[in-house]
Amino acid sequence: MKSTYGQHPIKKFSELQIMDLLRTLWPYLTIHRWRVISAVLLLVGGKLASLSMPWALKQVVDSLDSHAAQAVAIPVLLVLLYGLLRFGAVLLGELRDAVFSRVTESAMRKSGLAVFANLHQLELDFHLSRQTGGMSRDIDRGTRGINFLMRFMVFNILPTLFELIIVAIILLVAFNIWFAAVTLVCVAAYVCFSIITTEWRTQFVRAANQLDSESNTRAIDSLLNYETVKYFNNESHEWHQYDHKLTQWEQARINNRLSLAVLNTGQALIITLGITGLLYLAAKGVVDQSMTLGDLVMVNAYMLQLFIPLNALGFIYREIRRALSDVENMFNLLKRKPAIADQPLAPALKITRAAIEFDQVSFAYNNNRVIFDGFNFSVATGEKVAIVGRSGIGKSTVVRLLFRFYDVTGGTIRIDGQDIRTVQQLSLRQSIGVVPQDTVLFNDTIWNNIAYGHPDADTAAIWRAIEMAHLSDFIKALPKQEHTKVGERGLKVSGGEKQRIAIARVLLKNPAILLFDEATSALDSQAERSILTALEEISHHKTTLIIAHRLSTIVDADRILVIDQGQVVEQGKHTELLAQQGLYAHLWQLQQQ
């Protein structure tokens, strides 16, 4: 499956389904409706104060230019009014941001949390084919995109349009149609140029975004496989691979910067022509005495005030498009439905005997890889059954199907007579404890890794699990004891200790069914014997299924199933299977040699 994570095309507005995104965001806004209303009122108040500033400046200039200037109190009061309006506009803007910040931060937190929760609901196949680095960037960009959309669309684009209309009306009423016409033509030219140039720049922005994600994915993948890099002495190879991505990203960023210079220069030229044209009209009016010096100052102030937010239009337009795309990418993760889902009103699994039955089970990962076809076996209450066979024959698939990471394509898996597809996944997985072949621990303390099996367990229960897993001596010998950190993926502890921690975690969970997926295959003989002793103790009186690679670890199993070509071809105790001189005996002889 080809993954699309790390690719961030900036789509056209028609493709973005803006209304769908707004519907998704709307619930996050309605939670704080009074804050939203207050922020809008503060926005209106701030804009009114801002629009009054050029008028107040005109009055100051006109009062100084007239005989009334001899009365010092008049210009002083007007100057104070101008200062009050300027401070009021800034103050109302800051209050607006302070009030609305709770809304945006809450939306970012809750939407990010919703995506995170949904990712944990998705099927195993999705996580096996994902690119963690690219997906983490999707979530990060999506949450930042929500913040950008809320702030700039609500507090920049819409207010600027409102301000443009009001300024055009003021110039039309106060002077003549030419002032309004020059303003509108200038703004229209500015907007058209910004949009066309930004469309041209999109290719460079898209390339920079995609290469940024690809380089990030490459770096994370390399660091997660640190040991493999070291084993094959490929530090230089990784450095060159990463540098190749960064070099491409660097060139894309340079192209992006150069195109930005073209955009900024063109915008500055249009602004200059517009302001020059209006100042010419205003200066001409002053000369023929149809306008005052205050009118000229007011026209100039309105144009500067109008073009300050428009000056960032190219950046805002591009960023809004990218934010919409990023938010859509994140919400696509949120909207993705799990392939493995509970049936409506599915009941909880009721454990009475913890008996397992595979009845005519068929399963294939894809059309070219059929694993089981009419696969049958059962595990009775309290029985310990081992499954063996050649590598790649589907032993671990049994665990995945039973835990319902995948659904069977045919037949039925039952626990105590209940089809596991008809019960709640949560109740099913609460009833099963798994000790995997490759135990991956959180980068946390030993204590917290064990407590993960039952986060609400008390201290006594956790210490009981530690004792039963034969971990207490190891923990007490450590300088920080149970507070020792295990490192990322548990790299600071040995394979044997990792497995003991995994066993203690399962013991704390205390499930009715235990699954051991080649839990000792990576251990030396001494560690294996210690782990087997612990497994023997914890599996007593529990229904236990063991996926085994080393046959010596399951000689005491109640029953051994030998699978081949998707079928159980032999079954019995260890001595019985050796006597049959079949596939099991052949595998045993190979391992003994």
CA dist., res. 377 & res. 367, Å (int): 24
In a domain, 111, yes or no: yes
DSSP assignment of 119-174 equals HHHS-HHHHHH--HHHHHHHHHHHHHHHHHIIIIIIIIIHHHHHHHHHHHHHHHHH
395-417: per-residue pLDDT in tens? 888 888 888 888 888 889 998 88
CA geometry: angle 491, 495, 497, nearest 5 deg? 95
Examine the domain organization and report whether 202 and 55 are in the same domain: yes
Q: Do 348 and 306 fall within a single domain? A: no
Residue 463 counted as domain residue: no
The answer to whether residue 211 sits within a structural domain is yes
In-domain check, residue 232: yes
**Nearest alpha-carbon partner for 544 in 506, 513, 504:** 513
CA pair distance 409, 327, nearest whole angstrom: 35
Residue 410, beta-bridge partner list: 362
Q: Which of 1-5, 175-179, 338-342, 508-512 has the lowest mean pLDDT?
A: 1-5
User: Tell me, what amino acid is at 319?
Assistant: E
| Lateral strand order in the sheet of 559-564 | 432-435, 513-517, 543-547, 384-388, 559-564, 567-572
Cα separation, 126 vs 338, whole angstroms: 9
- Give the chain's domain count: 2
Whether 255 is in a domain gets the answer: yes
Distance in angstroms (rounded) separating the CA atoms of residues 483 and 66:
81
Q: What percent helix, strand, coil does the chain show, rounded to 5?
A: 65, 10, 25
Q: 224 and 316 share a domain?
A: yes
Region of 487 (left: φ > 0; alpha: ψ -120 to 50; beta: rest) is: left
Among the residue ranges 10-14, 183-187, 254-258, 412-416, the one predicted with the least confidence is 10-14
What is the pLDDT, as a whole number, of residue 73?
Answer: 57
pLDDT at 1: 37
Q: What's the pLDDT band for 530 if we cut at 50, 70, 90?
A: low
Cα–Cα distance for residue pair 386/451, rounded to 1 Å: 28
Domain hosting residue 130, numbered range? 16-335
Of the three residues 319, 335, 351, the one that is the final residue of a domain is 335
The answer on pLDDT for 298 being more than 70 is yes
Residue 153 pLDDT more than 60? yes
Residue 554: HSE in the Cβ half-sphere, 13 Å Cα cutoff: 34
Q: Verify that 187 and 266 share a domain, yes or no.
A: yes
SS (H, E, C) 89-112: HHHHHHHHHHHHHHHHHHHHHHHH
CATH number of the structural domain spanning residue 189: 1.20.1560.10
CA angle 560, 552, 521 (to 5 degrees): 100
Half-sphere exposure for 204 (CA within 13 Å, toward CB): 17
Calculate the alpha carbon distances from 236 to 211, 219, 343 in Å: 21, 13, 51
Please, which pLDDT band fits residue 51 given cuts at 50, 70 and 90?
A: confident
Residue 2, pLDDT score: 39
Query: Using an 8 Å Cβ cutoff, are 373 and 411 in contact?
Result: no
Question: Looking at residue 21, what is its pLDDT?
Answer: 65
CA 203 to chain centre: 25
Contacts of 75 (CB under 8 A, 6+ apart): 60, 63, 64, 69
Residue 420 CA to residue 378 CA, distance in Å, equals 14
> Alpha carbon of 501 to those of 452, 510, 546: distances in Å?
10, 14, 18
* Distance between CA atoms of residues 290 and 303, nearest Å: 20
Average the pLDDT over 351-375 and give the result: 84
Summarised one tens digit per residue, pLDDT across range 329-355 is: 777 777 777 777 778 888 888 888 888
Same domain, residue pair 176 and 117: yes
Using CB atoms within 10 Å of the CB of residue 585, give its burial: 0 to 12 exposed, 13 to 18 middle, 19+ buried.
Answer: middle
Residues 41, 21, single domain; the answer is: yes
Residues 570 and 590 in one domain: yes
Contact 530, 496 (CB under 8 A): yes
pLDDT-derived band at 154 (thresholds 50, 70, 90) equals: low
Which contacts qualify for 155-158: CB closer than 8 Å, 24 or more apart?
155/39, 155/43, 155/96, 155/97, 155/100, 156/309, 156/312, 156/316, 157/316, 157/320
pLDDT at 3: 40
Decide: 157 and 323 in contact? Cβ < 8 Å. no
Specify whether 122 is located in the same domain as 254.
Answer: yes
Q: What is the pLDDT of residue 520?
A: 63
Average pLDDT (168-187) is: 80
124 Cβ contact partners less than 8 Å away, ≥ 6 residues apart: 400, 405, 406
DSSP for residue 483: G
What percentage of residues in the chain have a pLDDT greater than 70? 82
Residue 262 domain-assigned (yes or no): yes
The H-assigned helical ranges of 225-360 are 226-231, 235-287, 293-310, 313-335
Domain co-membership, 298 together with 177: yes
Q: What angle do CA 377, 382, 383 make, to 5 degrees?
A: 40
In a domain, 6, yes or no: no
Taking residues 215-236, report their average pLDDT.
Answer: 75
Confidence of residue 6 (pLDDT cuts 50, 70, 90): very low
The verdict on 288 and 361 lying in the same domain is no
Structure tokens at 130: 């994902």
Q: Where is the domain boundary, 289, 313, 335? A: 335
Question: How many C-beta atoms surround the C-beta of residue 345 within 10 A?
Answer: 6
Cβ contact 475:481 at 8 Å: yes
Q: Are residues 200 and 296 in the same domain?
A: yes
* Cα–Cα dist 536/547, whole Å: 15
CB-based contact 61:125 (threshold 8 Å): no
Interaxial angle between packed helices 495-509 and 525-538, expressed in degrees from 0 to 180 and rounded to the nearest 10: 10
Taking CA atoms, 187 is separated from 74, 272, 306, 309, 310, in Å, by: 36, 12, 9, 12, 8
pLDDT of 522 > 60? The answer is no
Question: Between residues 60 and 424, which one has the greater pLDDT?
Answer: 424
Asked if residue 534 is part of any domain, the answer here is no
Please provide the average confidence, as pLDDT, over all residues in the chain: 77
Please report the pLDDT score of residue 68 as a whole number. Answer: 47
What predicted TM-score, i.e. pTM, was given to this entire model?
0.60
Asked if residue 355 and residue 315 are part of one domain, the reply reads: no
Buried b (16+ CB within 10 A) or exposed e, 145-163: bbbbbbbbbbbbbebbeeb
Q: Which of 314, 335, 356 is the last residue of a domain?
A: 335
Cα gap 320→73, rounded to integer Å:
48
